[in-house]
Each structure stands twice: as structure tokens, then as C-alpha cells.
Amino acid sequence: MTEILSGRTRIYGIIGCPVEHSFSPLMQNAAFDALKIDARYLAFSVKPEQIPQAIAGIRALNIHGVNVTVPHKSSVISCL
């Protein structure tokens, strides 16, 4: 299946390390599809030392929201 992302598609995601095993994208994208919401939920693998740059990138790219998982739950707070 080819997905079409437009300039209106809202991007959400999860950041962690590791994050490849997460079922969140599967579940969230199924919900977006069922509700016909123009959005995608992606997994972003972010190393602990990359947190400040990742948060800056999330803001710069207008990503609409991310969930934070291990090991970043505490360290991300200083970047907010």
C-alpha cells in the first residue's frame, strides 16, 4: 500500500531508544485510518545524547505531538 502524505497530514510519534519494537505506530495509525483522520504516527529512534536536538527538530518540523518512552522520560523534561 502506498500512502500519500500531504502538506496537511499531521505527524505524531514516539521517541525512545530502542523504539523499533513499539506497537504504538500500528495502533495509532489504525485509529487514524478508521476515523479518516489525515495523520500518521511514526517511531523515532533517538539516542539519549540527541534529546535536545530531537526536541528542537520536533518543534521546527511542526510535529503535532510525541510520546516519550525509555530511557528518555526524565531527561526530556529539561528540554520542554
Average pLDDT on 23-41 reads: 97
- Give me the catalytic one of 73, 74, 76, 80: 73
Distance CA 6, CA 64 (A): 15
Q: Residue 55 pLDDT > 70, yes or no?
A: yes
Instruction: Based on the residue annotation, tell me whether 73 is a catalytic residue of this protein.
Output: yes
More confident residue, 78 or 16: 16
Q: Residue 72 pLDDT > 80, yes or no?
A: no
Average pLDDT on 24-41 reads: 97
pLDDT bracket for residue 2 (50, 70, 90)? low
Q: Which one, of 21, 26, 18, 73, lies nearest residue 46 by Cα?
A: 18
Any idea where the domains of the chain sit in the sequence?
10-79
Q: Residue 1 pLDDT > 70, yes or no?
A: no
Residue 41: CB partners within 8 Å, gap ≥ 6? Answer: 11, 12, 13, 14, 24, 25, 28, 29, 32
Domain 10-79 has CATH 3.40.640.10: no
